[in-house]
Structure 1
Amino acid sequence: MQDITVIILTFNEEKHIERCLKSLLTFTDKIFIVDSGSTDKTVELAESLGAKVTQNQWVNYATQFNHGIKNNPYQTKWLMRMDADEYVLPELSEEINQSLHNTPAEISGMYIKRRVMFFDKWIRHGSYYPMWLLRIWRNGQGICEESWMDEHIKLFEGKTIQMKYDLVDHNLNNLTWWTQKHNLYAIREVIDLLNIKYNFRDFEAVEPKLFGTQEQRKRYLKVKYASVPLFTRPVFYFFYRYIFRLGFLDGKQGLMWHFLQGFWYRFLVDAKIYEVYHRVGRDKQAIKDFFKTEYGKDLEK
């Protein structure tokens, strides 16, 4: 077993948790789950496979994950971030087993490619693969940035390397669940985009940088995206992904994925931003009051 703790956030993940944990147990027996009140068999299944589970009230992803880092019961050299609907390929597990204990001291983080599956189809085009994510880092040298959406791990120091093999994101829930979840995501995305303009609060964030790491580049592009007029940017983004970046090569599943995730979801975000402006105008305090009243979200926390 490697000297690494895997931290997972859960809420009603009984469809996924066994698959996820069994893929991790090939290289570590130190799995720490922060659950936010699951009512299904998530906790029971996780504990049966040896995971330690704690309960914590949900605020947002970053707050929950940083709670996991702070309260990790294992004093391991390395930490790893996983979602419950993800799993590690056997090749990646073997790579971790072979390389983790030999990693030079100046390396503080490891990037892993995420392979997204949609209706059992690997989404390989539309700029969706390879998507490099910082998923392994030295304990004490990184935190989850406290943005409302697209939270990344921010390293304090050190260099990074890229792993050769993939982890897989394959959610088994139905399309109704997916659209409902993205409707909730849209609220967080609205807050994140509005925060770029209004700076509701300062937080430890990844530096926007076009020619930096993938998360720095994504943060840079998101800042630029936030300045593009409402309702035009989802159209441009969809055509960029589906046509220019060859998303159409992913077949019917690709059409659904790139349209729903690349156009519908982002159009919904713009519609919700329009609703904010329509309801309360563009005054910063009025916008903060709106989210506190309508969604119970304090934008200064």
Structure 2
Amino acid sequence: MSGITAIILTYNEELHLGRCIASLTPICDRICIIDSFSTDRTIEIAKGLGAEVYQNPWENNYAAQLNWGINQINAKTDWTIRIDADEYLSPELINELKSILTSIPNDVSGIELTRKVLFKGKWIRFGGFYPIHLLRIWRSGQGLCESRLMDEHMILSGGKILRLQENLIDENLNSIHWWVNKHNNYARREAADILNQEFSFVETTDLAGVEVGKQAASKRKVKNNLYNKLPLGLRSLLYFCFRFFLQLGFLDHPKVWIFHFMQGFWYRLLVDINVYEAKAACQGDVFRLREYVRNEWKIKI
């Protein structure tokens, strides 16, 4: 079988990391952890399961951290896979990968996986959350994370993309308190990304003209050309209604209704409030805005 190197970004992931590594072990030659100086048992677990550990300070920029890791591990295997610590490969996906990796045509440089998200043990099946297709495997040396402050995707230097059928499982086991804190940070990163689309205070990549999954490019186009042009605040309400009613989110388990409300309305409203506050503080001055994002929100740009 063609060799695979896995790369996982971590910070205090003792709850999930063992599960993630266990799912990778049947198909990966190397498992590399890019850790942001965890204070729990993350490093102990990683080393105990045979993973390589690299450490780099987190500067609130996922793309910068991931690309640092890709360069640092210098994968020599045919393929590289990127996976989050709270994700794992389903047994069916493991078997699918084993069966196809040795026979992939040479003109294919990337592989899309289908992500299945669970919330409080329940599948988020509706509301536009399944299937989500993500470019997660690429020929080593031909993939990087796009330079963006939020909503980052892997992009290829060339070649075609193959989509697999079986599921990559995303199941975070942390409390709702942890989830809220995480999304508070996400909201600032996404607000910075939206502000950058308007004021261009830092150079980022665009999915146009690069090899990336079609679903990712399509969603980015809708977000930039429609959603971001709607009034602040109103767009979060409209998005939640679209997702919960038109995309049938109400058919999910009642536990998942919490997720649709929190991620589809509360989070998007929080992003808009951050955009409003930054604009009010900087009065449209690009230099002040760049410094505000860097110093107040602690985001590396």
Normalising by the smaller structure, the TM-score range is over 0.9
The alpha-carbon deviation at position 73 of structure 1 amounts to: 4.7
Q: Unpaired segments of 5 or more residues in structure 2?
A: none
Runs of 4+ residues over 4 Å off in structure 1? none
Contact kept? 1:208, 1:218, Cα under 8 Å: no
Structure 1 Cα separation of the partners of residues 68 and 22 of structure 2: 24
1:166 partner letter: N
Structure 2 Cα separation of the partners of residues 11 and 101 of structure 1: 34
Residue aligning to 1:42: 42
After TM superposition, the score normalised by the length of structure 1 is: 0.95
1:164 partner letter: Q
Residue aligning to 2:167: 166
The alpha-carbon deviation at position 94 of structure 1 amounts to: 0.6
Structure 2 Cα separation of the partners of residues 74 and 195 of structure 1: 32
The aligned runs of 1:110-129 (5 Å cut-off) are: 110-129=111-130
Structure 1 Cα separation of the partners of residues 99 and 10 of structure 2: 29
Tell which has more relative contact order, 1 or 2 (C-alpha 8 A, sep 6+).
2
The alpha-carbon deviation at position 221 of structure 1 amounts to: 1.7
Contact kept? 2:201, 2:287, Cα under 8 Å: no
Residue aligning to 2:297: 295
Structure 2 Cα separation of the partners of residues 13 and 292 of structure 1: 26
The aligned runs of 1:87-102 (5 Å cut-off) are: 87-102=88-103
Structure 2 Cα separation of the partners of residues 167 and 262 of structure 1: 22
2:16 equivalent to 1:32: no
Residue aligning to 1:180: 181
2:62 equivalent to 1:61: yes
Structure 2 Cα separation of the partners of residues 287 and 204 of structure 1: 20
Match for residue 228 of structure 1 among 230, 236, 240: 230
Per-residue displacement from partner, 1:170-229 (whole Å, max 9, x unpaired)?
0010000000100010000001111111111223332289xx701111221221222111
The alpha-carbon deviation at position 26 of structure 1 amounts to: 1.5
After TM superposition, the score normalised by the length of structure 2 is: 0.95
Structure 1 Cα separation of the partners of residues 115 and 148 of structure 2: 21
The alpha-carbon deviation at position 278 of structure 1 amounts to: 2.2
Residue aligning to 1:140: 141
Contact kept? 2:16, 2:86, Cα under 8 Å: yes
Contact kept? 2:87, 2:170, Cα under 8 Å: yes
Structure 2 Cα separation of the partners of residues 28 and 295 of structure 1: 37
Structure 2 Cα separation of the partners of residues 293 and 66 of structure 1: 23
Residue aligning to 2:279: 277
Per-residue displacement from partner, 1:250-281 (whole Å, max 9, x unpaired)?
12122101100000000001111111122222
1:172 partner letter: L
- Give me the identity figure in percent: 45
